A and B are shown apart, each in its own frame.
Chain A
Amino acid sequence: MMGLGFDQKKTRLPPLNHVSSLLDLPALFREHAPYLWRVLRRLGASATDAEDLCQEVFLVAHRNQATFRGDSSPRTWLYGIAVRVAADLRNKAHMRQERSVAVLPETLVEATQDDALEQQRARVLLDRALAGLDAERRAVFVLYEIEDLTLQEIADCLQVPLQTVYSRLKSARQEVLALFGETLVPGGTATLLEGSGR
């Protein structure tokens, strides 16, 4: 484990104020690890790297649980760690990138049914689209469109202003929609891209 050489000292964590342990790590692992793995995959990690990185997330959480700030949800806190761990991976040398974009998606091994193949195909397209986004917009897009976090939760998670989250999401949507060659209903484009910031 920990073959990625993750540097915890360099990984910024969400601010930790309260000295209390509100976390039930075993329960959090059971409940959130499958989805944190997914987030890490969508943020560019290979399946194997995602396992290592997911472990890193819980290792960091374990070491910082006594100072977990209870006014945000553990889920949001864990996602914040995951985004930073993924960013740390991206900052590694070229070999990491090469591993993360290997020709063979590892999960092909388990694709034996037609619908699984279709799902696999769709995920390849999704990852192709996400690869076109920079890290900041990609994180916002993934957390909002796939993980269903609210804009405020994402702002807390990434420690950026709400306005920034909104503009990153809008920009990411534009790019992803363009990549998918949108064929939207009249007025749909404007609705999708404008959102309702006011």
Chain B
Amino acid sequence: MKTFEEPRRLWQDEGAPAALQKALNAGRHDKANARAMAAMAAGLAAAGVPLGGGAAVAGVGVLSKVLIGAAIVGAMGSGAYVLQTQRASTPPQNEGASAPATLVVPKPMPQPTAEERSAAVAPAIHHAAAPPKGRKPQARVIQDAEPSIIEETAWLEDTRRLLPNQPNQALLRLQTYAMKFKHPLLDQEAAVLKIEALVAAGQRSTAQQRAGEFFHNHPQSPHRQRVQRLLNLQP
């Protein structure tokens, strides 16, 4: 019978490319944070899956508790579920300070402070590229520093906002993408955005040409169907 020895895993194999090892390690350290755990526990409780005291929502912050509360309140409307949560011995890694809590519904939910409410609706992306007021832009720094993925994402988001009313402006902006991000991480997304902008600007034949290039350059792209739909192409 053929047997198989376990190959050495790439993240610990010194022969593997460093970038791959870094990526694998990043993947290995990823995990659901306390907010996600709280939301999942609340959802399961609402679905009638008993997780018992302290099973899941340990050490969550106030915002998470508000989320749990909202989920449970929703569940209470259609049935009668009670979720009890307690602090567990091991706090989740991704959460900062954990709040001591025993949350028993239907006791009144704690109200978030103004600061917490503000945090809850804070914009997802911080535009790191914007210089603080009163400081001159530092051209040298901008030239030397590698733009972060947050900047790249924010830049693409800003461009996307131009699409509905100013598609030509979006196109102009996208022409500077390669110059601005010399080592882009979201080049596929930028390419798709450009095709969208071309369609929105009425330049359909150019959009089709760009789509052909996109399919050629990224045959396995997860954006393929999206591009096909943009141009009403058959899969």
Chain A positions near chain B (C-beta within 8 angstroms): 1-2, 25-27, 29-30, 33-35, 37-38, 41-42, 44, 47, 50-52, 54-55, 58-59, 62, 94, 97-98, 100-101, 103-112, 117-126, 129, 131-132, 144-146, 148, 150-151, 162-163, 166, 169, 173, 176-177, 180-185, 187-189, 191-192, 195-198
Interface footprint category on B: 35 or more
Contact A98 B150 (CB under 8 A): no
How distant is A187 from chain B, measured CB to nearest CB, in Å? 8
| Binary A-proximity of B30-59 (CB < 8 A = 1, otherwise 0) | 111100110111011011011110111010
Centre residue among B2, B30, B46 by max chain A CB count within 10 A: B30
C-alpha spacing A5/B25, complex, angstroms: 33
Sample of 5 more A-B contacts, CB < 8 Å, known A126-B24, A169-B7 = A33-B40, A100-B222, A108-B153, A121-B149, A122-B22
**Quick check: B92 and A51 within 8 Å, CB to CB?**
no
Q: B2, B41, B149: which contacts A117 (Cβ < 8 A)?
A: B149
Q: List B171-220 residues whose CB lies under 8 Å from chain A.
A: 185-186, 189, 193, 220
State A34–B25 Cα separation when bound (angstroms): 16
Contacts of B27 in A (CB 8 A): 38, 42, 122-123, 126, 146
Out of B2, B5, B28, B51, which one reaches A25, CB within 8 Å? Answer: B51
- Asked if A55 and B149 make an inter-chain contact with CB atoms under 8 angstroms apart, the answer reads no
| Interchain CA distance A27-B39 in the complex, whole Å | 17
Which residue in chain A gives the minimum CB-CB distance to B75? A1
In the A-B complex, the 8 residue pairs with the smallest Cβ-Cβ separation, listed nearest first, are: A188-B15, A26-B55, A1-B43, A122-B26, A37-B32, A195-B7, A126-B23, A34-B31
B49 and A145 form a contact (CB under 8 A):
no
Q: Which residue of chain B has the shortest Cβ distance to A100 in the bound complex?
A: B222
Q: How many angstroms between the C-alpha atoms of A121 and B46 in the bound complex?
A: 35
